Amino acid sequence: MAMEIKKVAVVGAGDMGHGIAELFAVNGYEVKLMDKFPAMLDKAKARIGASLDKLVEKGKLSKDDSDSARSRLAFFSDMGEAVSDADLVVEAVPESLELKRSIFKEASSHAPKDAILASNTSNIRITDLGEATSRPGQVVGFHFFNPPMLMKLVEVIPGSKTEPAVVDVMEAVGERLGRTVVKVLKDSPGFIVNRINAADTLLFCLILDKGIATPAEVDNFARGQGLPMGPYELLDFVGVDIGADSLAYFSQALSSDYGKGTTFARMVKEGNLGKKTGKGFYDWSTGRAQIPKVPATDKVSLMDIFALEINESVKMIEEGVARPEDIEKGVTLGMNRPFGPITVAKDLSNAEVKGKLEELAARFECNIFAPTRSIAEGKLRDAIEGRLSPPAPGAQVTHAAAPPAPAQEPPTEAEPIRLERLEGGVARILISRPRLNLINASVLDGLDRIVSELSNDPDVRVVLVSGEGKVFSAGADLSQFYNNSVAFMEFARKGARTLRRLSDMPKLTIAVLKEYALGGGLELALACDLRVATEDVEIGFPELTRGLVPAWSGSQRLPQLLGLSRANSLILTSERIDGKRAYEMGLVNRLLSQGDPDDAAAKYGAELASSQAPVSTMLAKKLLNRGSEVPSDVGLEMEAMAAGILFGTEDLREGISAFLGKRKPEFKGK
């Protein structure tokens, strides 16, 4: 078997095939694109050329790399010529079992005996395709998402006879293509992402069958929840026939319940396939869906969808199809979502999910909507946290338990916030969530941990707070899932508490503002003692334009810093200002000259670390932060007490001695 893939043949030059061929070519593979229809090849060649030109125009690919990719592409209408010297054959023809089996049979007869045969099928069992060849051990699923050049996920699926080495090779190929690889553990219809999608698709078909709501009512509801497209608009966009074919296949391969929906099949018979025919649920004659402006339905809720997706996820865990972390990764990347069903399940009780599923099963008379075994037994938490016991070897069960954990720990995600220790008594806290360094619960947890670590570190005197790359922070990450208003309120409290700890930290803190300091990012900066900024940084509170308010102490800190009038201007109008204007207002303490703002801030921090007495800094911060919270006579008493404490320190004697001796002090924090 070919262990090193250099030459790739892609069979099928349609929407997926031409994109897969382009992706391989851009990443250094020699590619032959095959289609028996010359017109399809001509169209594919033009589309690939236009795509490469666009990548060059956007600066994502150099002209030389584009030309090199073109030189690695060849086009064929004969299967034998296309696959005769291929190390890897990738099938990307329409979702027809008979068609795919015929392609695999023909490719197997012409490809080298050690070549791997892969399918881009989104639903069909890989085992069924492998049976059409003389080499089922070398047949594997390699499922991209549309469009392949943009979507970062690929599912690798073994058939029942696929050799483990083949799976390893394809995982390496996926990584070389720059894709996140999700490994499906067991061959099952729909694999991970489309298995979950199928339950959603059936729900939306049954909603129309039963006249519960119109497509426009549901889509307007979905858009109101922040989704870019509603489910029916999306079905129109990809093709109603795709949804209908998916349900038909699942009804044969998984459960007859998937065949209960009738509306989609009827639309296919009528030729109303959506955008591709100009009409589906909506009129597409202008190139965009003409969605009627009708009130959003109240007959459908996000909880309906969440419950079904959690149910299917748990079924896959029970059956040994996939692990929880891979399901989450697959849905977020494959369906382009901010979070997946495992994250949602962690914020719901077993009873909530079970109750909703029982309601849906009864409402739609559909058994696949009923709670799966683990949820019915109250073991949702065990399932999503990977604590189900593995099945006995060879056991035949409807819902098998999840497989044991791998011998090696899976790679951990990059830390969303990290600590760097610089020279001269300076430390730097970096938010690391490219591209906008949005602040989520994990960032807050990391910040809280780092504040505790640095607060008791005598070697650190100045702490810089910045963002990885060009951006400070564009605000809070609002794409997280919150079960209810109480959960969101607790997230707000968590942010305010964490920033209060940063503010109270017994070190001098400096925020380094660059490119964007918005919303929660600006609140983070306000919790620091000083703010330095580039002249062109964009600063502001956009919360009111999102239907929110600053909730991490911004509405309290800003008036104290700038006065009520200027705070009103920034918060109530959502005005955005640049660094120069912020400096003139007193929001920023120092403007940074051209060059790397983090380097400039590090030099400034080192200057302050060497010139400011640590104990004096700590006490001065307490006086400044608490002075506005107490009566003036109490504040004056606090000030006198601080002076008395400092009188007995070594740093005071050193400061006076250095002043009289006209030298730089060497403070020890004592």
* Rounded distance between C-alpha atoms, residue 153 and residue 234, angstroms: 19
Report how far apart, in Å, the C-alpha atoms of 570 and of each of 537, 564, 565 are: 15, 10, 9
Pairwise CA distance, residues 520 & 436, whole Å:
12
Specify the CATH architecture of the domain 417-609.
Answer: Alpha-Beta Complex (3.90)
Q: Where are the domains of the chain?
A: 7-183, 189-212+240-273+300-406, 417-609, 613-660
407 confidence band (pLDDT: 50, 70, 90)? very low
Distance CA 23, CA 32 (A): 12
CA torsion, points 37, 40, 42, 44, in degrees to nearest 10?
Answer: -140
Give the CATH fold of the 7-183 domain.
Answer: Rossmann fold (3.40.50)
Catalytic status, residue 359: no
Token pair for 596: 């790397």
* Weakest-pLDDT range from 112-126, 325-339, 369-383, 643-657: 643-657
Is residue 614 over pLDDT 90?
A: no
Average pLDDT, the chain: 89
- pLDDT tens digits for range 458-479: 889 999 999 999 999 999 887 6
Residue 147: cis peptide before it, omega within 30 degrees of 0: yes
Instruction: Give CA angle at 138 (135, 140), nearest 5°.
Output: 125
CATH code reported for the domain at 189-212+240-273+300-406: 1.10.1040.10
User: Which residue out of 543, 584, 637, 654 is catalytically annotated?
Assistant: 543
The pLDDT-based confidence of 229 (bands split at 50, 70, 90) is: confident
Q: Is 594 left (phi over 0), alpha (psi -120 to 50) or beta?
A: beta
629 is catalytic: no
Give DSSP secondary structure letters for 272-319: --BGGGTBSSSB-TTSS-B----PPPSS--HHHHHHHHHHHHHHHHHH
163 — alpha (psi -120 to 50), left (phi > 0) or beta? beta
pLDDT band with cut points at 50, 70 and 90 for residue 260: very high
23/154 Cα distance (integer angstroms):
12
The whole-model pTM stands at 0.71
Q: Could you say which of 22, 233, 318, 523 is catalytic?
A: 523
Q: Where are the alpha helices (DSSP H) in 513-553?
A: 520-526
Q: Is there a cis peptide before residue 590, judged by omega within 30 degrees of 0?
A: no
Which helix H or strand E contains 428, and what residues bound it? strand 426-431
Report pLDDT digits (tens) over 273-302. 999 999 999 999 999 999 999 999 999 998
In this prediction, residue 490 has a pLDDT band, given cuts at 50, 70 and 90, of confident
Sheet holding 538-540, edge to edge: 516-518, 538-540, 576-577
613-660: CATH topology is Lyase 2-enoyl-coa Hydratase; Chain  A, domain 2 (1.10.12)
DSSP code, position 271: T
Sign of CA dihedral 92, 97, 98, 104: positive
* Residue 476: strand pairing partners: 439
